[in-house]
Structure 1
């Protein structure tokens, strides 16, 4: 969960947030083959005892990750197999504000889990997300390099509005992260940014 530090502090922070009345606590985990697949069951068990929404995300070929992406890619639907093996019955949920996440809940659980699978199940046509990077650029898609600098528009409401409207209007209808799309000629330039620079 933390790539370092003390897991106990993170879990204590989640517990404190829950006790303070936060209704939605989302925990994102990127599923990477050979690194954390064996932890999927633990995350699912965590949703049974804690009121959190654990979201399993497919490893995406973005920026430098493209070099080792195929070795690390693992589909997220393995969580269904784990549920079946453990005898956990789950129901599909409709949660507002969860974007592309397909959400489910194990019966009797306090929390829920979601699947975000842009590689195996492209959802571009229904995506309504915009991202603002730490250096003030607006991205309509995390995969492509297209972005608009917002920093020089902060004092001009009309220019700011136009930039946001343009980003929404020009949202790409597809990306090329799928397995059968990797070798095709790209009509746009893929992003040079790492995921940590783009934000969630």
Structure 2
């Protein structure tokens, strides 16, 4: 695979985090009845405009899968690309398997957790795959950066993974504003994976300018 092809794949992962985050937060701020302190971003897949978040999940997952191929090439294999690929599969599946309406959203839905159907169960499983894969990917990247003597990047990787780990645990425990802490953690981890991919893509540009190959 040429350096330019590797760079194109890495840019897919670089775009995934900012795109998914921006689309999700824009909807969270504008959809009637949605409250990020009570409703997980996955609930945006329900209602008349739910197709926007469904598409957001699927596109984000595909971009992570493509980006994982670039990471595998740029990092000479290892667990990080595999975990990013797993996160991509989980995210795309979370788009196809829509969460059940609950807790007053979409508008008109009764208060409370609501019924959990097969699609909702599948969504929770897919989301768990995404979250735990992203957490593990951040820690694996942290170890890699630490071994390379890149302390700042190592710390940022571990902080990102920990943000998602704690956000997920807090949400699962039913803690106050758990959906908000989960959203912050997920966005932090995704943006960090995107940042790493962007940096590697920039390195690929340098390699291209000097006639190198990856």
Tell me if both proteins adopt one fold, taking TM over 0.5 as the criterion: no
- Greater fraction of residues in strand: 1
Q: Which has the larger radius of gyration?
A: 1
- Greater fraction of residues in helix: 2
TM-score after normalising by structure 2: 0.26
Q: Which structure carries more relative contact order (alpha carbon 8 Å, separation 6+)?
A: 2
